[in-house]
C-alpha cells in the first residue's frame, strides 16, 4: 500500500517526505514489534483502550496511532478522528469546547465492528498541556468511555498527571537502532534516486540522533542539493559539509592540537584556520569536544571534570555574545593548564 501511495505522490513534488513516507498501516511501522503486535490484538478483539505513547522524538509514536486510525476508519477517518497538537491548543478551553464537543457529538457510523463506531481523539505533545486542562480531561475520559477513546502522545511522561496515566495503557517507544533505520533509509534513497553510500547513511542517522523525522527531512534536503549536481555517490564528508556540522575526523584533529600544543599561538592559528575554512562555530566545537573528551585516556576523571566544567563556562560566555577569539584562546589555555 505504501508503495502505491508513494508512486501516486511522486508527481506532487511539494509534499513533505515525512508525510509521503508515513506508514498507512501498522504493518508498515518499523521497529517496536511488541508494541505494534499488542495494539493489533486490541484492535482485533475490539477492545481498544485509551493509550499513552511516550518516548524520544522521531521514534514513531504519532505514525503508529495514525496508521492504526487509518486502518480502522479508512474513508471515515476525518469524521471519526480528532487530531490536536497540545502545544498549540493546550488550555482548558480547548478541553471544554473542542474535545468535549467532539466527544458528545453523535456518530452516524453504525457497524458490527465496535472499534469503527468509537471515535478517537489524538492529543500530540500532550506533555505541553496545562495541569488544569489535564484535570478537566479526567471526567471527559470517563463520561464518554462508551463512544470515545483518547490517545496521548508525549516525550516526557513525567509531565502527564497520574490521574491521566492511570486511565491509559502506556507504551514506551525506544530509540530506533541504526540496523532497523538503515533499511528504511535505503528504501527512500532508492525510491528517490539519492546516491548515499553506507557511511553517509550512518552519518545522517548519527547527525539526527536517531530521530527518523529529522532523518527523512535531511534526505529530502540532500535530494534537492544534489538534483542539479553530477555527484555519483554522496559520502560522509559531503553530508557533514552540507549540514554545516564538524566531521569526527576534524574534531579528532583539533583535539590532538589541544593535547599536543607546544606554543599557544601556533595552536590558536591552526584551530582558527580550521574553523574558518570549514565554517564551524566555536559553540559547536565545544559540544563535539565534550563528546571526544569522554573517551580520552590521557586525562584522568578529575582532569576531565575540570575541563568540562570550564568548557561549560566558555559556552555560557558565547551565549551572551562574548568574543569568539578570546574564548578560543581560553579553550587552549584550559588544556595547556591541565596538561602542565
Give DSSP secondary structure letters for 138-164.
Answer: HHHHHHTTTTEEEEEEES-GGGS-HHH
**Domain stops at, among 132, 151, 172:** 172
Domain contains 320: yes
Pairing of strands 51-54, 81-85: unpaired
pTM: 0.79
Query: Within this chain, do residues 114 and 226 fall inside the same structural domain, yes or no?
Result: no
pLDDT at 102: 85
Query: Within this chain, do residues 237 and 219 fall inside the same structural domain, yes or no?
Result: yes
Flag whether pLDDT at 220 surpasses 70.
yes
We report the CATH number of the domain holding residue 91 as 3.40.50.300
C-alpha cell at 290: 565534550
Flag whether pLDDT at 5 surpasses 50.
no
Residue 169's closest CA among 29, 41, 332, 339?
A: 41
User: 130-152, pLDDT tens digit by residue?
Assistant: 888 888 888 889 888 888 999 99
Query: Within this chain, do residues 234 and 275 fall inside the same structural domain, yes or no?
Result: no
Q: Find the domain containing 201 and state its range.
A: 178-243
Flag whether pLDDT at 26 surpasses 50.
yes
Query: Within this chain, do residues 166 and 40 fall inside the same structural domain, yes or no?
Result: yes
Confidence bin at 1 (pLDDT 50/70/90)? very low
pLDDT at 229: 62
Beta carbons of 53 and 204 less than 8 angstroms apart? no
74 compared with 88, residue with greater pLDDT: 74
pLDDT at 116: 60
Query: Once rounded to an integer, what is the mean pLDDT over residues 175-204?
Result: 90
Domain contains 8: no
**Domain stops at, among 243, 263, 281:** 243
Domain contains 20: no
293 compared with 4, residue with greater pLDDT: 293
Flag whether pLDDT at 202 surpasses 60.
yes
Domain contains 204: yes
Query: Once rounded to an integer, what is the mean pLDDT over residues 233-248?
Result: 85
Domain contains 265: yes
Query: Once rounded to an integer, what is the mean pLDDT over residues 24-28?
Result: 87
We report the CATH number of the domain holding residue 260 as 1.20.272.10
Q: How far apart are CA 218 and CA 171, in angstroms?
A: 28
User: 80-110, pLDDT tens digit by residue?
Assistant: 999 888 666 666 777 777 888 888 876 554 4
Domain contains 3: no
pLDDT at 13: 60
We report the CATH number of the domain holding residue 216 as 1.10.8.60
pLDDT at 110: 44
Helices of type H across 144-263: 162-165, 178-192, 198-207, 212-226, 236-243, 248-259
Query: Within this chain, do residues 154 and 185 fall inside the same structural domain, yes or no?
Result: no
Beta carbons of 257 and 267 less than 8 angstroms apart? yes
Query: Within this chain, do residues 118 and 236 fall inside the same structural domain, yes or no?
Result: no
Confidence bin at 115 (pLDDT 50/70/90)? low
pLDDT at 340: 75
User: 35-71, pLDDT tens digit by residue?
Assistant: 999 999 998 888 899 999 999 998 999 999 999 999 8
Q: How far apart are CA 135 and CA 132, in angstroms?
A: 5
Query: Within this chain, do residues 163 and 45 fall inside the same structural domain, yes or no?
Result: yes
Query: Within this chain, do residues 136 and 186 fall inside the same structural domain, yes or no?
Result: no
Query: Once rounded to an integer, what is the mean pLDDT over residues 190-198?
Result: 89
pLDDT at 228: 61
The domain tally of the chain equals 3
Query: Within this chain, do residues 262 and 238 fall inside the same structural domain, yes or no?
Result: no
Query: Within this chain, do residues 209 and 135 fall inside the same structural domain, yes or no?
Result: no
pLDDT at 114: 53
Flag whether pLDDT at 8 surpasses 80.
no
Query: Within this chain, do residues 186 and 213 fall inside the same structural domain, yes or no?
Result: yes
Beta carbons of 2 and 28 less than 8 angstroms apart? yes
Confidence bin at 263 (pLDDT 50/70/90)? confident
Domain contains 19: no
Query: Within this chain, do residues 227 and 182 fall inside the same structural domain, yes or no?
Result: yes
pLDDT at 331: 92
pLDDT at 2: 42
**Domain stops at, among 126, 146, 172:** 172
Domain contains 13: no
* R_g over Cα of the chain: 25
pLDDT at 247: 86
What does pLDDT average to over the chain? 85
Amino acid at each position: 500500500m505504501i508503495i502505491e501511495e508513494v508512486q501516486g505522490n511522486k508527481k506532487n513534488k511539494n509534499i513533505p517526505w515525512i508525510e509521503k513516507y508515513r506508514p498507512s498501516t501498522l504493518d508498515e511501522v518499523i521497529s517496536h514489534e511488541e508494541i505494534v503486535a499488542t495494539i493489533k490484538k486490541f484492535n482485533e478483539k475490539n477492545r481498544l483502550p485509551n493509550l499513552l505513547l511516550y518516548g524520544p522524538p522521531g521514534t514513531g509514536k504519532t505514525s503508529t496511532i495514525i496508521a492504526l486510525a487509518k486502518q480502522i476508519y479508512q474513508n471515515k477517518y476525518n469524521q471519526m478522528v480528532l487530531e490536536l497538537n497540545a502545544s498549540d491548543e493546550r488550555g482548558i478551553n480547548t478541553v471544554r469546547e473542542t474535545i468535549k464537543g467532539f466527544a458528545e457529538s453523535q456518530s452516524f457510523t453504525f457497524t458490527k465492528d465496535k472499534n469503527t463506531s468509537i471515535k478517537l481523539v489524538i492529543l500530540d505533545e500532550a506533555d505541553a498541556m496545562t495541569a488544569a486542562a489535564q484535570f478537566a480531561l479526567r471526567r471527559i475520559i470517563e463520561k464518554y468511555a462508551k463512544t470515545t477513546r483518547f490517545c496521548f502522545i508525549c516525550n516526557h511522561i513525567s509531565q502527564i498527571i497520574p490521574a491521566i496515566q492511570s486511565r491509559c495503557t502506556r507504551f514506551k517507544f525506544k530509540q530506533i537502532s541504526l540496523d532497523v533505520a538503515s533499511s528504511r533509509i535505503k528504501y527512500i534513497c532508492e525510491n528517490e534516486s539519492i546516491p548515499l553510500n553506507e557511511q553517509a547513511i550512518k552519518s545522517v542517522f548519527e547527525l539526527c540522533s536517531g530521530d527518523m523525522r529529522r532523518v527523512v527531512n535531511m534526505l529530502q534536503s540532500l535530494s534537492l542539493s544534489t538534483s542539479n549536481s553530477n555527484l555519483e555517490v554522496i559520502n560522509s564528508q559531503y553530508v557533514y559539509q552540507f549540514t554545516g556540522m564538524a566531521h569526527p575526523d576534524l574534531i579528532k584533529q583539533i583535539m590532538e592540537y589541544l593535547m599536543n600544543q607546544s606554543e599557544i599561538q601556533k595552536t590558536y592559528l591552526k584551530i582558527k584556520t580550521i574553523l574558518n575554512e570549514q565554517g564551524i562555530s566555536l559553540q559547536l566545537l565545544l559540544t563535539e569536544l565534550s563528546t571526544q573528551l569522554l573517551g580520552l585516556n590521557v586525562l584522568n576523571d578529575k582532569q576531565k571534570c575540570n575541563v568540562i566544567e570550564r568548557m561549560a563556562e566558555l559556552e555560557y560566555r558565547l551565549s551572551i555574545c562574548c568574543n569568539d577569539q578570546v574564548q578560543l584562546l581560553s579553550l587552549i589555555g584550559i588544556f595547556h593548564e591541565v596538561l602542565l
